[in-house]
Structure 1
């Protein structure tokens, strides 16, 4: 094929280019022509198509995401906010923590193992690029029906990919979620979170400054995998040298051992002060790295694309620019430090190549064997993509869905029926033990894991001398969000906030992964707009800024969209991890207190799903001030030694939480239904802003006085005791029966 140079593009304005096949709209293509004052070259078209894709440009979501900045609460802890590769917060003692959650949904459906593995790899590189050492990962997951044949294909592959990549990197997997629902059958959600630690002075940003500074690509060679992964484009758009479509695999292929070398070499480069700016290569590959570095810097950039080390010599320039081959980074380095930079990479057996330099101009210029194939203003590629204000409207079916009240469903009429429904609920796929999955992950590598699954939140020790630590939780209930997206997003945030507080840590900041259907559907865009507004309002109220995250759209099969699923991660700090609070009951005789108000709230509940296969009504009411108060009590009680166990109440209600705490601790519970509640509501309600705690008898007066002084309802509802869970006047279930029922579910489905 004839190389499409900038001069050739200017001389052939009428040449047809495959803009539509690359996922661009006609008006977007015309805007590119206007920006350049000519038609784009093939390489320029490739860059704009991937960088202006939904995944990279956020063109449908930016108009709503700006609320996270406009409503951002003041936070002394926030060091780096939205706009960088990951947010950074101050956790004290000179330490900073960076964390972020992203999606790898579509690749994980096509090729579950590699899709999930490279999702972990990508989020880890975001954390490295900020200057931090990765210390833990988490994985919020959503799958189709547990008994569907295709779930048996997708789930084991995803779990193996996460475990295989993370375990090889030597990173503990300390938390996450696994949810099954029919709506995710064709669109599983594979979200990945990573957290990293650094000193304040070690923060690095993605920018290319200083004319004459060198641009170095280091890590794995560039291959044909993942080409166009950031957009809907197919790699066969570009022809090979024989004029035939070049077929390339759509899903990236990961090599965790190469990534481990990349981590260590990058951290040594930082330690030796050899880097001016840095960017990982993830979505859109070199197109993203070069345009974002140049756009964030003070000048332009010149790149010699033919110097890029390749795994496949047949790749065209367009394919090299779009390739999403894994385990690659791009750094800007002062000329006098290049030799030392290359020496560090050689020490770690990492390929490093100078591919260009920063210029004093304002253009990104890319050359191929001396011929110029790209000449663009970098900001137009990286940061000035389309901004769509898509129409959105409350769907016509929303009123009927909310009117179909789950509270009107038939309830158990006898104690025996109540007992049977408890067993069914706690052993259902969503509520059952996830140990079949989490046992495939290494939770304790590196030796600083303090809490991990199935605790309310994962916790990592940061400083071995002072015991400073951080806790992280991720949550999201798509059923709640389907009923009311505004409240559903706030409930996701509230649950994560509550989970972090239940461990004894103080919530500081938020990252989010917003998973929705097609933005071209006004009903989906309404869900997105409402969820974003709800999350922004909640974060503003509770003083926890959103530091960054990810939007995943087009999670849809035909006309069937997934439930709106905002997954919210909350990070908190704890001064002394030895004062943490686990969720397991551990000592007979301790008193069980229920904190918060319990109402007959069953919309979107686990009970309505498991027993009646029903979704309707309204989700639980949100009371953010109550969440704040509950968190303060949990944190103070943990710090002052008033409680020995704490567990938030969410999916499945009180009976689920008590079962998990009892089974984990190997000791039972005797429960008494408090005045004003019936046994059914007491056990299955999913009212928000609640937790159970186990209080030593010696601390009861101090604890209840604190709750009373702060105005938090606290009802004594039982005692830790025996080898069963008994509800006075109703039933008793041996712990052995509950344990066996809960632990048998996933192995029976997937083992």
Structure 2
């Protein structure tokens, strides 16, 4: 994707000459939408990014948030959408590798992953091919490096057929005194490249991610997809820990989009310094690489470190210990010049900040999406129930998460398949993990760390602004159902071609909706990622605001999302009958206005967390995709069941957020807790029968646990 004429003129004016071939390629990638956020940056100021516990906010490789004075967590999210269409296995695998290295570059040890995946119609053969490859890539990479995948989401919508989304979040744990940032600190320090050798894979990946996919993308764009090596990444994780233990790192940046050129120029620009780099010093795995290839290759498992000169030999020793390549490629200088040489010739000489941050922003027209019409289908209750409960969108995702190791690290108290994951962050161990690693993996504080992540394309396709607000409330409710309250969030904002006014209008809607809801919930959005040009010959994707939210709670115990067979079932938040954005309407081609988000959502979340932690609470499960129909079906186990009454079909399938089913031994206490917050209605009783008995407006449905499981296991049934 060559430089636009206007960009080239701006560069020539700044440099006072025509750019070299290497400079042109570097500007093309660093000024791409993927790196420079040219169309989205004007909108992102809507997010509130500061909060009491925020240590490092947006702009670094990952955010840093304090759990207490001594223990911090890092939090980040990335997309690997285009690569996962072209090569689903390597595209998804390297997405995991990239977000893990973002965690390493902040000085943290990765402790959890969440993967949010979006595909076209499940019935389409190509969608299943992509799903199978993406899940295998995530599992092979994450399992091999020993980082548990504890949560996420999987959704299907016809508008992802030509462009799936793969969004990956990572949480890391770090001691307060071990945090590293990406800004270069001191002239005279060395720039050291550690990790895999550089090859030609991933060339032009940043610019590739900044244009629509065409019908030949799977063949023509394959060279732009990186190839991962999880075993080298695991060695890099351990080497990074030892470098931190020895206090050898001044600054760090992982090599992702735009490769070495991107990482090194961004480090220098952030520190308002300069550098001189000799590209032939970079350790390479292929002969005959030219300057542009060395600068822009996105070969994986590489880190760029700023190191004091007297520590370089020790860094080399650590790299050798872990069988990693190590190159001293240049040094930090005074001034503001980014200079790269190759075989004695200067191939790049540009102001560092202009190179990294000088891309002009786009001023694009937008159109507000139309209001949905009201067109409600007339469907028999049993037909509607079986279609919704058996839909791939609401069905069990066990086929996906059973391929992930979610217990490695021995922190997972509540794993995939529940409303949110809960990780145990315990007291510090007396003995370090090994003789030379007294690291963040062992610092434990005695509290639970909860993680929820996802989005609903049906919601935001129907109403971008209100749908995005609902996504935020839904994720916060997921945390509250486990007894946790939100701490911080990161987002991955996915949209189509922003040059189309209707597409950009929908993207504006999800940004503003997510920002407003997070502000209402008092949840700082501490980082994120933007992925635009998710457009293909099949059309644009739905505007998709993936949100990952971290929460905290005292202890690690959480009420399950399944019936315990002993208590009264209450619906906190009350019945709602609006059907807009619901799976019910998606199944039967209907439409309706989108349900309003409750005005008292913050109080609801706080109160639900308190109720979930009460001794009398036996189970809590939020109401979201598929409405009460799916929530009640998911409460049923082989040993326990549900006997419930719902007033209408609309109430059964409404996906209005800010609601949850609570099984309790003390209904009065729950009603009292929510007295001034939200309505509470009694649904019925939990039973010891292993079945769902449901009455809806005088009609009855009855399914045993085996029948429900058979309907909900559609992914496993079709893919195994």
Question: Shorter-chain TM-score: which interval?
Answer: over 0.9
Q: Which moved more, 1:460-469 or 1:358-367?
A: 460-469
Give me the whole-angstrom Cα distance separating, in 2, the residues matched to 1:140 and 1:388: 29
Structure 1 range deviating more: 328-337 or 728-737: 728-737
Residue aligning to 1:604 = 581
Counterpart in the other structure of 1:16: none
2:21 to 29, 36, 42: 42
Residue 257 of structure 2: SS of its match in structure 1?
Answer: coil
| 3-state SS in 2 of match to 1:732 | strand
Instruction: Work out whether residues 157 and 457 of structure 2, in 8 Å CA contact, stay in contact via their aligned partners in 1.
Output: no
Taking the aligned partners of 1:290 and 1:197, their CA distance within structure 2 comes to: 25
1:734 is aligned to: 704
8 A Cα contact 2:377 2:589, kept in partner: no
Establish whether residue 175 from structure 1 lines up as the match of residue 151 from structure 2: yes
**Alignment partners' CA distance in 2, 1:288 and 1:128:** 17
Give the match's secondary structure for 1:598. Answer: coil
CA separation of 1:443 and 1:528: change in aligned 2, threshold 3 A: same
- 1:145 lines up with 2:135 in the alignment: no
1:299, CA displacement in angstroms? Answer: 2.1
Report what 2:459 is aligned to. Answer: 480
Q: 2:645 aligns with which of 641, 655, 672?
A: 672
CA deviations 1:439-478 (Å, max 9, x no partner) are 1111111111011111111111122465312111112112
Deviation per CA, 1:14-50: give whole Å up to 9, x if none.
xxxxxxxx34210001111111111111111111010
Q: Which residue of 2 aligns with 1:265?
A: 239
Q: Which residue of 2 aligns with 1:584?
A: 562
SS at match of 1:356: strand
Q: Does 1:434 align with 2:397?
A: yes
2:589 corresponds to 1:621: no
Partner of 1:161: 137
Contact 1:268 1:344 in 2 (8 A): yes
* C-alpha distance in structure 2 between counterparts of 1:93 and 1:468, whole Å: 14
1:733 Cα deviation after fit: 1.3
Deviation at 1:233, TM superposition (A): 9.1
CA contact (8 A) 1:475 1:493 kept: no
Q: 1:125-524 residue pairs with structure 2 within 5 A?
A: 125-232=101-208, 249-395=223-369, 398-399=370-371, 402-403=372-373, 405-406=374-375, 408-412=376-380, 418-464=381-427, 467-524=446-503
Cα distance per residue 1:639-665 (max 9 Å; x no partner): 3323121111111111201111213x7
Distance 1:559 1:585, change over 3 A: closer
Give the CA deviation at 1:589. 2.3
- Note closer, same or farther for the CA distance 1:602–1:447 as it changes in structure 2 (3 Å cut): same
Q: What displacement does 1:295 show?
A: 0.4
Q: Map 1:80-95 to 2 at 5 A.
A: 80-92=56-68, 94-95=70-71
SS in 2 for 1:577: coil
Kindly indicate whether the alpha-carbon contact (under 8 Å) linking 1:642 and 1:703 is maintained by their aligned counterparts in 2.
no
Contact 1:206 1:278 in 2 (8 A): yes
Q: Distance in 2 between matches of 1:650 and 1:631?
A: 14
Give the 3-state SS of the residue equivalent to 2:8 in structure 1.
helix
> Alignment partner of 1:114: what SS?
helix
2:206 partner SS: coil
Distance 1:251 1:735 in 2: 44
Counterpart of 1:393 in 2: which secondary structure? coil
Q: Following TM superposition, by how much is the alpha carbon of 1:60 offset from its aligned partner in structure 2, in angstroms?
A: 0.8
Q: Distance in 2 between matches of 1:682 and 1:362?
A: 62
Q: Contact (CA 8 Å) 1:197, 1:462: kept in 2 or not?
A: no
Distance (Å, rounded) in 2 between the aligned partners of 1:300 and 1:748: 57
Q: Which of 559, 567, 570 is matched with 1:593 structurally? A: 570
How far 1:498 sits from its partner (Å)? 0.8
Change (3 A) 1:513 1:233: closer
Asked whether the 8 Å contact 1:597–1:687 carries over to 2, the reply is: no
Aligned equivalent of 1:719, options 670, 685, 704: 685
1:55, 1:670 → 2: CA distance? 51
**Deviation at residue 702 of structure 1 after TM alignment:** 2.6
Cα distance change of structure 1 residues 247 and 63 upon mapping to structure 2, 3 Å threshold: closer
* Matched residue, 2:537: 558
Secondary structure of 2:674 counterpart = helix
Contact 1:103 1:119 in 2 (8 A): yes
SS at match of 1:178: strand
Distance 1:570 1:627, change over 3 A: same
Deviations 1:158-198 (A, max 9, x none): 01000000000111111111111111001011111111011
Give 3-state SS (helix, strand or coil) of 1:422's partner. Answer: helix
Tell me how far apart the structure 2 counterparts of residues 637 and 442 of structure 1 sit (CA, whole Å). 31
1:705 is aligned to 672
Cα pair 1:475 1:495 within 8 Å, conserved: no
Matched, 1:574 2:572: no
Q: CA deviation at 1:701?
A: 3.0
Residue 237 of structure 1: aligned partner: none
Cα offset for 1:139? 0.6
1:603-638 superposed Cα distances (whole Å, 9 cap, x missing partner): 11011112x134x33222112x42212211221123
The CA distance in 1 between the partners of 2:312 and 2:324, in whole Å, is: 15
Distance 1:711 1:122 in 2: 42
Distance 1:111 1:627 in 2: 41
How many residues end up aligned between the 2 structures?
Answer: 691
**Aligned 8 A contact 2:86 2:221 in 1:** no
Q: TM-score, normalised by structure 1?
A: 0.90
> Contact 2:398–2:716 (CA<8 Å) still a contact in 1?
no
Q: Is the 8 A contact 1:596 1:689 kept in 2?
A: yes
- 2:605 matches 1:631: yes
Which residue number corresponds to residue 433 of structure 2? none
Is 1:542 the counterpart of 2:521 in the alignment? Answer: yes
Counterpart Cα distance in 2 of 1:681 and 1:478? 20
Of the structure 1 ranges 632-641 and 248-257, higher mean CA displacement relative to structure 2 is found in 632-641
1:709-743 CA distance string (max 9 Å, x none): x4331112111102211124512111111112212
Would you say the 8 A contact 1:145–1:151 is kept in 2? yes
The whole-number CA distance in structure 1 between the counterparts of 2:589 and 2:147 is: 38
